[in-house]
Structure formats: C-alpha cells, structure tokens
Amino acid sequence: VLVVFLQRCLQLLLLPIPVLACLGLWDSFYKKLFPYVMAKLAPIYNRKVYKQKQELFSNLKKFAGPSSQLKLLEIGTGTGTNFQFYPPGCQLTCTDPNPNFRKFLLKSLLENRHLKLEHSVVTSGEDLHQIPDGTMDAVVCTLVLCSVADIRDVLTEVLRVLRPGGAFYFLEHVAADHSSWTYFWQKVCDPVWKYFGDGCSLSRETQKELEKMNFSELHLRHIHVTPYWIPSSPHIIGYAVK
C-alpha cells in the first residue's frame, strides 16, 4: 500500500511528463534528447566500472574464430562507450533502435581507430534479422536489457546470431533483494523512471531470464555501483557461452 501511495505521489509531482507521454509527445522529444544525456553520463559511469569492464572484456580474444579476427556484435551501442575495451582488429557490428545516437557513435569510432566498423543497423535487440545465423563470435549488451520490451526475445536473438562456442557479455543493473529497502525504492520509482531512462526498468529480474536460456555456461556475479543508495546500484556482470 505504501509503495502504491508513493508511486502516485511521484506521478503527481511529475504529472506533465505522463500527460505528454499519453499524448505521444514525450517519446519523440526524449529520443532526440537522450543521446545528449548519455554522452554526458556514460563517461561518468565508465569511470565507476572501469576495472570491472576491463576484467570482463579481457578474455574476448579467446572467442575469436579461425581468422583470429573477432566478429563482435554490440546491441544498444549508444555512444560507443565500450569501444575502448575491445581488442585491436575487432570487426564490429553495432545496433541501436535510436538513430539519434549516430553522431556520437561516429565520434567514438574516430577515438578508437583500433576497431573496424562492419555494419551499423538501426534496430531493436528483439529484431536482429539483418544479421545471419551463427555469424558472431561475441555479442555485448550493457545497460540495455533493463529497457528492452522483451528480454527473452533479445536473448533468443543473441543465441541465434552467435556461432557455437561464442559468448554473450553483459553488464546490467537489476532488481535488488526483495527484502531490501533498495527494492522498495526501485518499485516506488519504476513507473516514472522509465520516462527518463528511455523505457528503463529498475526491477528487472535479468539473472532469472539468463538462467532460463540454453547457454552451455553462465559466468555471473553481483556487484554494486556507487553511490550505493541509488535504486540502480545493484548490477550483474559476466558472460555466457553458447
């Protein structure tokens, strides 16, 4: 009851935004603004998780195919904040449903000339039909599964495009322990958080969805990103092998 009451208070406080969303005006406006917001926030976030990302992507090379050039697909590439962690010579395919990220993507590519962009596709993670079956050595998805329409559809596509023995890398903020105050505030903030996070949900049970999929291996651990009191602090990080 308290959660619902506080949700209503937040919605009332931010009433103009839900009204604009109902009128279909918020999404078109925020999709243009969101890349600029992420261009400012992504470097701050990257500094907080730099060591964790460096460790996570340190074994990417071992999944390279016979040509020893890693074919990597990134879902929800955004501003290209992960490019600095990818190995030299990496053949990169980028996807994002928001075309307004393109100029930031190109800027990141200029700053990371050790990478080779093969394709850039405007599409959601649930619909990767332009990428043939079994053609990718690795797929990367960071801070994306929180905002997709259907996690299972995305993971099904990941398994389809990965070659046998390929790996899926992830770093996602997730639901906190259900008995914690963090989870309480996640549930309170969820209805309005999506307006500022481009559909993002604070309380996704992403680990459970990963465990349901047909990966042969799942290497996953829980971390917290500072500041620890914010609802998006709980994360999972790791990789899964097809």
Q: Cβ of 161: how many Cβ atoms within 10 Å?
A: 23
Beta strands in 97-188 (DSSP E): 116-122, 136-142, 162-173
- Quick one: average pLDDT of 3-29? 89
Angle at 20 between CA 14 and CA 23, to 5 degrees: 145
Which tens digit of pLDDT belongs to each residue from 100-156? 999 999 999 999 999 999 999 999 999 999 999 999 999 999 999 999 999 999 999
| 213 — pLDDT class (breaks 50, 70, 90) | very high
Residue 15 binned pLDDT confidence (cut-offs 50, 70, 90): confident
Q: Where are the beta strands (DSSP E) in the chain?
A: 71-75, 91-96, 116-122, 136-142, 162-173, 217-224, 234-241
pLDDT value of residue 1:
79
Q: Cβ(163)–Cβ(242) under 8 Å?
A: yes
For the chain, what percent of residues have pLDDT higher than 90? 86
| Whole-number pLDDT of residue 202 | 97
Q: Express each pLDDT in 118-131 by its tens digit.
A: 999 999 999 999 99
Q: Which of 64, 94, 49 is nearest to 221 (CA)?
A: 49
What is the Cα–Cα distance from 188 to 8, expressed in whole angstroms? 9
Domains detected in the chain: 1-241 (3.40.50.150)
Residue 67 has pLDDT above 90, yes or no: no
